[in-house]
Amino acid sequence: MMPVIQIVIPLYAILMWLYPSHFRHEFEMEMRDVFAEMVTNSAKDGYHALMIVCLRELWDLPKTLIREYWSSFNQHDIIFKGDNIMQFLADIQSGYNDPARLEELYQTARKANRLTEFKADLHACYQSASDNLLYTAWHYRLQADEQESERSKVNWKLAIPLAVITGLIFWLMTFEELSMTFSDGTPYLFPLWGIVGGIFVIAFLTIARKFQPVGQTSSTSMNGQDVRSTNKRAIAVIVGLVVLSLYAMIFAVIPHDRNYRNLIIPHLPLLAWIGVGISILGLRSYAKESFAFVVKSIELFILAGIYLIGGGVFIGITNGLFSTINVRIPQKIGLLLVAGGFGLVIILAVASAYNPLVKTTEQNFQHGLSKLISTMMRLLLPLTLMVLVIFTIFIIQPKNFWIPFSDRDALIVYNGMLFAIILLLMGAIPMYANDLSFDMRKMLRIGIMAVATLTILVSLYAMSATLYRTYLGTITMNRMAVIGWNTINISILAVLIYKQFRYGQEKWIESAQYAFGMGMYGYITWTVFVIVCTPFLFGNGFAEGWQKSYQRAAVPIATPMSDGGDPSTEGEGEVEDSRPVVRPTATPAVLTELPEGCPPNCQGIDLTGAYLYDANFEFANLARANLRNADLRHANLHNANLRLADLRGTNLENADMRGATFHESQIDHNTQLGTNLILWQIVNQNAEQRYLSRAVNLVEADLHGVNLRGADLSHVSLQKANLSSADLSGVNLNHVSLHETYIDEKTQIDDKWLLVWQIVNEGKSGRDLQGMDLSQTDLSNANLSNADLRRAILTDTNLSHANLYGADLRGAILAGPDSYNNREHIANLTHANLAGVKIDDTTQIDDKWRLVWEVVNHGAVGRDLSGKDLRQADMHAVDFSGALLIGTNLSGANLKDANLSNADLNGA
């Protein structure tokens, strides 16, 4: 027991360093003595009692830390210096001719939030000795400070109107009447909120500096330039943001490029943040200024999050109150509260935490929320280090190492972690060296270097997985962006570590700020590059943007209804053609009469507003048909050709659209496709890298020429789908049915899945599949008779109803290492034919199926199989005579022609 006590007590002493220095100075020795006594006494009662004491102390630790740090932030009445409480009046009088002494007292009082007392004591000294030049100089200096403090007041008269305008713009951008949405209904607000908010933030900061309250003078800007120069820079930044955002939206809207649209959703807000920084600092700022801007930005983001939480609570309470009286808040009012409130928060957060009249490096980093956030970041540092160590241990294990190489979601988590740790490290680094004690600075430096080193290792590991997936597939815009951001972040951390070793302990804070501050230039460059260059690297630039737009289907000048006309279409078309015009009946109770020969030949027909509920268009040619606002609910469109059809406003709910061709058809936000909307998006928008696992039914889907490169289609059925000329390079086809799927010589598909397609569709026996990786494939109903499957990997493979007659499974892996606890790693052999199959001791197979194999190949005469699980097994013609099958689970088993004479089936 004594060795344990000798370890626990020093560990407790280390934990004491987490407390504020003044708290340790007063209570550390007493707390250590009390803890040592508690540990010693509890040890007499055994390890259990000792553990309870330790856990109780750990449970109280976070609460005590928060309470003490919060108390230290708001402490105004005591300043500790050694064991004595400072008396400013006596110290000021003793330093009447010592400028250095008075400056030291001033800085000490400022850090301790006792400037008011210092000013009062110095003013008293000045009144009693006004002829003292040092007192006189300090008197006028403090008067200037008081005027400066007035400038720190929030300019609410400017902030509130700008915040309201921002919120109203956000609200208007959600109006359906303004049609400010992408083709799939996603509002333009998603990518543009940052740009709009950034422009108004720049306006607030610029106007606040230009029109200062009376008596507040500021001849220089935050970068030492005059106000006019700052205003010109702000205008230039706003113009740049508008131009770049319009540029991005053109390529996101006109070519209907979903991937580029998803790419600019995070990059345009990042561009806006960069624009705000440039408007404040310029392009030639020092690293310390850039670092200060980022740290203050972290504070603003957290403050905005607090405001949003408060707003969310307010909205929830409002909805709850009105729901009690059965009053439903209108949708537009709800959007005003949500979207408008979000716009409001952006300006209010900036106004609350950032003083536009003070340089970035002179902002408040030592009190209030700033101090709380930096302390929180430092407290999270050891926890982050612990998590990284444990995570590194896990990923070096063989069963975990390859996960990100095949799992896109894991890569997303790793990349998100990298950005989070970058922010954590920046928030933990103090702005000034004297913000922390020497011991705290030393420990913080060690922690930052350890976290940065482990983060580099994990990031390089994740980046290698991205490069590997790129090598197997191709470079995409998403992968390019991720690789670029990873490279920048890893470089920042590498420079951080290099500078720490080069400059050592003395200048570690300045060198760390330099690494992160200079890294911001990488952020600026890569953000602009991704937005500007991606359309040209992964498309045809302006040529694609202006030529690939979908043209509205040509319709007659007017297609009036029988009762006088449909105002929604009247006068809309400008080009007449020779297509037959069908005028729908006035009453929807009767189906619209179709011209002779339609179906099947309905090419170019005008069925605007037609009532075609449950109509039969199977195999019909509806290419270029105008089906705008038509009612096709429950219609049979099986294998129909809808290429270039106008489906705007068409109701296709519950229509049978298996095998239908959607290519280049046109829809809008009023089109009702139901579950077929995703299929339309896959066909008409770039589905590259898209996550579609379990999200869509692609049975009989016409995917001719579709780009699915790098997409996740796991657990999606492609049975009978048309994949001719489709690009499936790097696609995740785990658990995907490729039965009766059509491919041709132009179909691009990985070797593994091409082999699976051949197995399930060509029906060839005696295949040589030695050592092949067929894990997580769908080989149900496949003919694998007499196949050589030695050492093949078949974990999590669907072999249900497969014909394995005579197959060689020696050394094959049909069950993962955790097969007894995780059924997902076991091959599915439901109703598989195991007759004549060769297995041995090296075959890794679940105990259930090994038993089935024994029964099928060696019989079960007189065998005791009581309580065994033989569900869904193919045991036709097996001899069970005299067998004990008491309580055996035989549900769903194939026992055709089996001999069950004299078998005991009691309870089976």
- Residue spans per domain, the chain: 2-73, 80-151, 156-362, 368-471+478-546, 764-855, 859-908
Residue 612 phi, psi dihedral angles, 5° rounding: -130, 40
For residue 80, what pLDDT is reported?
A: 32
Q: Which residue has the tokens 């422009």?
A: 199
Helix (H) or strand (E) holding 780: none
Q: How far apart are CA 528 and CA 651, in angstroms?
A: 41
Residue 666 phi, psi dihedral angles, 5° rounding: -115, 130
Q: How far apart are CA 53 and CA 51, in angstroms?
A: 5
Query: Per DSSP, what are the bridge partners of residue 778?
Result: 798
Q: Which residue has the tokens 């987490």?
A: 18
For residues 532, 538, 544, 548, the Cα torsion angle rounded to the nearest 10 degrees is: -120
Residue of 198, 200, 345 whose CA lies nearest to 278:
198
Residue 815 phi, psi dihedral angles, 5° rounding: -150, 135
* Region label for 892, one of left (φ > 0), alpha (ψ between -120 and 50) or beta (otherwise): left
* Region label for 705, one of left (φ > 0), alpha (ψ between -120 and 50) or beta (otherwise): left
pLDDT along the chain (908 residues), means of 10: 68 69 69 78 72 71 64 40 49 80 80 68 79 80 58 76 91 81 78 92 86 46 53 88 91 73 90 91 80 88 89 86 82 86 90 83 73 85 89 82 75 83 88 78 89 91 84 77 91 91 84 87 91 80 38 30 33 35 42 79 87 88 89 89 90 87 84 81 83 82 89 88 90 90 91 90 87 90 91 90 91 71 71 91 89 89 87 88 87 88 81
With H, G, I as helix, E, B as strand and everything else as coil, classify residue 67: helix
Q: Which CATH class is domain 764-855?
A: mainly beta
- Cis omega (within 30 of 0) on the bond before 600? yes
Q: How far apart are CA 69 and CA 371, in angstroms?
A: 9
Q: How far apart are CA 188 and CA 36, in angstroms?
A: 63
In this structure, are residues 290 and 518 in contact, taking their beta carbons and an 8 Å threshold? yes
Q: How far apart are CA 429 and CA 443, in angstroms?
A: 12
Helices (H), 216-326: 227-253, 258-281, 287-324
Q: Which two tokens stand for residue 883?
A: 């067998």
For residue 24, what pLDDT is reported?
A: 65
For residue 558, what pLDDT is reported?
A: 31
> What's the distance, CA 388 to chain centroid?
20
